[in-house]
Structure formats: structure tokens, C-alpha cells
């Protein structure tokens, strides 16, 4: 008995009343949404419009599902058309059975139709969605875990997959989880494409070709480990041969495309440039509206503050106003008193000056009178002396 292993779910479907919720379908749906989301981000970064990837995916996804199912039914026809089989099961896609080769081939046809309707180049769109497709495959492989399918040889490794179902020729036991190997490989492929695209500016479909080539390398050795029934050619499983052929085609495309069309497309969606000014105008209008709203809010806040200050200061103005008026009256009275005092001092000074002047005048008159009297007395004395002599 294995002490460590990956358990398999006992059921691949849950019932919500009469509605079945199948794990396989959920894994595919999650993968599709992931691919569209990442592809949209990469498309916008290259100058495309928002929503273009999703619009084209409306064409690519249904075509891809049909192509994947057709490839599986054609290459494993004995499961549906041999004796004792029901051919109606070929339409039960929820039971598993999608060939990635058919999904990519017919999905590319659907994408070409969508791109043609939008007037954009298919290689540029394929470059944008390439890593997203790899991540979608990584999610989709977990649907095989819900269905207990696509496992490898028996093993005793700690990460062995425990198969419990015995339907359709399964033998319960512990096997290599090849679904997990491929899921992890696809995650690595997705990151490889993102890194190489940023490093080398891949364009004209070369990022998508790199995804195809890298996936084929992993699919080759993983396919070799699988033990489910498959057609063999010269000792190799059919999918191994398919992986080798597709790998060579992808490498040849990368080499030839690099020589004929070096670099990356400068314009991937011409109409995207026409939408840019409109978007800028809308952004500017929104900013202007925000500024006006902010100014209005600030003005209203200032008015309210002033009104509140006025109401608070109104009660204080009564007391302060009386004090101011009283101070004004006191200042006026002081000024009047000062002026009166100055006038009095001026009058007194004038009177004192007049009295002093009069006293000096009288003194001078007295001196002159005395001088005149002395002179007259001297003259009389001289005259008397002369008469005597």
C-alpha cells in the first residue's frame, strides 16, 4: 500500500438538483476565461482595443471545441463506432475526449474568420493569446483528473495517481499522473512565451509558433509515458508523430518569418488610434468635472466657516463696540483738553511777553528822561559859570 499518493475524486460530477455540474466542463470554462483575460491585457499592451480578443474568441472557442472533438473521435473511432458501442456517445463531450491538435487547427480557422471581420491580422492576435492558451491547457488537464483518465505507467513514487475506477478497461492502481505533468509543462510554456516575447519582441505569429514548438517538446515525452489505448505507427503513438511534425513546422515558421518580417507589428488594430483621443477627452472632462466639484465644495466650506465666525463674533461685538466707542470719546476729550491747554499757554506766554516789553520800554524812557534832565542841568551850570566869569 502506498503511503503517499494523489487521490482521484470518487465522482466527476455534482448535481445541483436536476442540473449536473461537471468538473471537466468547469476546468475548460476556467481555462477559456483565463486565456481571454490574459490575451486582452496583452492585446491592449500592443496597441489594440479592449474587447477585441473576446469578440474573436466568440468565433475561435466554438470552432476549437468542435475541432478538438472531431480529432478525438476520428483518431479513436473504435470507442464510438465499433461493435457494442453507441455512436451517440461521440457527442457527449462532457465525458472527456478533446484533441489539442484539432482544437488548435479548427480554432485557428474560427479566429481567422473573426479577425477578418474585424480587419486585424491573425498572427498579431495569435501572439497576444499564445501564453493564455498554454495556461488554459494547464487548467483543462485537471478535467482529466476528475474523469480518471490520461494517466501513465504504474509507479510507486510519492506523487503517484491513485486510480479507483474500473470502467472502460481501467485497472485500479497507482500510476504516473501524466495529466499533472502536462499541466505543469503548459504553465512553464506560458511563462516561456511571455519572457521571450518581452526579451526578443516577437511578432508576426512567432510568439504563437514558440508556444506550439515548446508544447510539442513536452507532449512528446509525456505521450510516451501514457498507457491508454492509441494507434501506433512504427512503434510510436500517433500523437508522438503528430507532435514531431508540428514541432518542425513551428520551427520552420519562426526561421522564415524572422527573415521575411523581422521585428514586431507597429499597428495591430488601426481603429484603436482613432479611439485614443476620445478616451483622452473623456478623461480630461472627468478631471475637469472633479476639479469643479472640489472647488465648489471648498467654496461652500469657506462660506459656512465665515458665516459661523460671524455668528460667533456677533455677541462679542456688542461689548467690544461699547468699549471702542467709549475709548473714542475719551480720546476726543483728551485731544480737546490738550488743545485748550495749548491755547491757554499760548495766550499766557503772549501776555507775559507784552508785559516784559512794556517794562523795558518804560525803563528806557526813564533813563532817557534822566539823561535829558542831567544834560539840561549841566548846560545851565555851564551857562551860570560863564556869566560869573
Give pLDDT tens digits for 237-285.
999 999 999 999 999 999 999 999 999 999 999 877 665 544 444 444 5
Q: Confirm if 179 and 138 have CB atoms less than 8 A apart.
A: no
How many C-beta atoms surround the C-beta of residue 307 within 10 A? 10
Segment among 10-19, 76-85, 347-356 with least mean pLDDT: 347-356
Beta bridge partner(s), residue 174: 162
pLDDT at 166: 85
Backbone φ, ψ for residue 331 (5° rounding): -65, -40
The overall pTM is greater than 0.85: no
26, three cell numbers: 468547469
Distance CA 189, CA 33 (A): 18
CA-nearest of 247, 248, 257 to 200 is 257
Q: Higher confidence at residue 233 or residue 3?
A: 233
pLDDT digit string, tens, across residues 358-369: 444 444 444 444
Strand 161-163 relative to strand 173-175, pairing: antiparallel
Specify the pLDDT at position 319.
40
Cβ neighbours of residue 86 closer than 8 Å, sequence gap 6 or more = 80
Please tell me the predicted confidence (pLDDT) of residue 46. 94
Whether the pLDDT of residue 132 is over 90: the answer is yes
- Asked if 267 and 273 count as a contact pair (C-beta separation under 8 A), the reply is yes
- The CA distance from 140 to 98, in Å, is 10
Rounded alpha-carbon distances, angstroms, from residue 386 to 168, 377, 382: 193, 14, 6
DSSP structural state of residue 175: E
- Lowest-pLDDT range of 84-93, 158-167, 334-343: 334-343
- Is 161 in a helix, a strand, or coil? strand
- Exposed/middle/buried for 119, CB within 10 Å: 0-12, 13-18, 19+? exposed
The answer, yes or no, to whether residue 80 has pLDDT greater than 60, is yes
What is the pLDDT, as a whole number, of residue 316? 43
- Cα torsion 321, 325, 326, 328 to 10°: value is 140
- Residue 154 pLDDT: 94
- Bigger pLDDT: 14 or 380? 14
Residue 339 has pLDDT above 80, yes or no: no
**pLDDT, mean of residues 168-182:** 92
With a cut of 50, say whether residue 320 has pLDDT above it.
no
Q: How far is CA 245 from the centre of its chain?
A: 42
Confidence of residue 168 (pLDDT cuts 50, 70, 90): confident
Percent of the residues in the chain that have a pLDDT greater than 90, as a whole number: 53
SS3 96: coil
The yes-or-no verdict on residue 55 having pLDDT over 90 is yes
Look at residue 349 in the predicted model and tell me its pLDDT.
40
- Give mean pLDDT, residues 51-67: 96
Phi first, then psi: what are they for 285, rounded to 5°?
-60, -40
Determine the pLDDT at residue 17.
84
Under DSSP, the state recorded for 217 is H
Taking the CA of residue 246 as centre, how many other CA atoms within 13 Å lie in the half-sphere pointing to its CB? 24
- Burial class from Cβ neighbours inside 10 Å (0-12, 13-18, 19+) for residue 98 reads buried
pLDDT at 380: 44
Identify which has the larger pLDDT, 377 or 231: 231
Higher pLDDT, 15 or 119: 119
Tell me how far apart the alpha carbons of residues 27 and 136 are, in angstroms, rounded to a whole number: 9
Residue 374 pLDDT exceeds 50:
no
For the ranges 117-131, 158-172, 271-285, 317-331, the lowest mean pLDDT is seen at 317-331
CA-based Rg of the chain, rounded to a whole angstrom?
55
Helices (H), the chain: 23-45, 52-75, 78-81, 100-118, 122-140, 142-146, 178-200, 206-225, 238-260, 271-388
With beta carbons less than 8 A apart as the criterion, state whether 159 and 4 touch. yes
Check pLDDT > 50 for residue 177: yes
Amino acid at each position: 500500500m502506498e503511503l503517499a499518493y494523489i487521490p482521484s475524486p470518487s465522482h466527476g460530477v455534482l448535481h445541483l438538483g436536476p442540473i449536473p455540474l461537471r468538473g471537466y466542463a468547469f476546468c475548460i470554462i476556467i481555462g477559456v476565461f483565463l486565456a481571454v483575460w490574459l490575451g486582452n491585457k496583452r492585446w491592449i499592451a500592443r496597441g489594440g482595443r479592449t474587447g477585441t480578443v473576446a469578440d474573436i474568441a466568440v468565433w475561435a472557442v466554438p470552432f476549437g471545441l468542435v475541432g478538438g472533438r472531431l480529432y478525438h473521435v476520428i483518431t479513436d473511432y473504435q470507442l464510438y463506432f465499433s461493435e457494442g458501442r453507441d455512436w451517440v456517445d461521440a457527442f457527449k463531450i462532457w465525458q472527456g475526449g478533446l484533441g489539442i491538435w484539432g482544437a488548435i487547427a479548427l480554432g485557428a480557422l474560427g479566429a481567422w474568420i473573426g479577425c477578418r471581420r474585424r480587419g486585424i491580422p491573425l498572427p498579431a492576435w495569435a501572439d497576444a493569446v499564445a501564453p493564455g492558451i498554454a495556461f488554459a491547457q494547464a487548467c483543462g488537464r485537471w478535467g482529466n483528473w476528475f474523469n480518471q483518465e490520461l494517466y501513465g505507467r504504474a509507479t510507486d513514487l510519492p506523487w503517484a495517481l491513485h486510480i479507483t475506477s474500473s470502467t472502460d478497461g481501467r485497472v485500479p492502481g497507482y500510476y504516473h499522473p501524466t495529466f499533472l505533468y502536462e499541466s505543469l509543462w503548459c504553465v512553464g510554456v506560458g511563462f516561456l512565451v511571455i519572457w521571450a516575447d518581452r526579451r526578443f519582441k516577437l511578432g508576426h505569429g512567432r510568439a504563437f509558433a514558440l508556444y506550439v514548438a515548446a508544447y510539442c517538446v513536452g507532449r512528446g515525452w509525456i505521450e510516451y509515458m501514457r498507457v491508454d489505448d492509441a494507434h501506433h505507427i512504427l512503434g510510436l503513438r500517433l500523437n508522438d508523430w503528430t507532435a514531431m511534425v508540428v514541432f518542425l513546422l513551428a520551427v520552420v515558421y519562426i526561421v522564415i518569418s524572422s527573415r521575411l518580417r523581422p521585428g514586431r507589428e507597429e499597428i495591430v488594430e488601426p481603429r484603436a488610434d482613432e479611439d485614443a483621443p476620445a478616451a483622452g477627452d473623456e478623461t480630461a472632462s472627468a478631471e475637469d468635472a472633479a476639479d469643479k466639484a472640489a472647488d465648489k465644495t471648498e467654496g461652500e466650506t469657506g462660506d459656512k466657516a465665515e458665516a459661523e465666525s460671524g455668528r460667533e463674533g456677533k455677541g462679542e461685538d456688542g461689548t467690544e463696540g461699547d468699549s471702542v466707542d467709549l475709548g473714542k470719546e475719551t480720546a476726543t476729550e483728551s485731544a480737546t483738553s490738550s488743545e485748550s491747554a495749548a491755547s491757554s499757554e499760548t495766550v499766557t506766554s503772549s501776555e507775559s511777553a507784552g508785559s516784559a516789553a512794556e517794562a523795558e520800554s518804560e525803563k528806557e524812557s526813564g533813563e532817557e528822561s534822566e539823561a535829558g534832565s542831567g544834560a539840561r542841568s549841566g548846560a545851565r551850570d555851564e551857562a551860570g559859570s560863564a556869566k560869573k566869569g
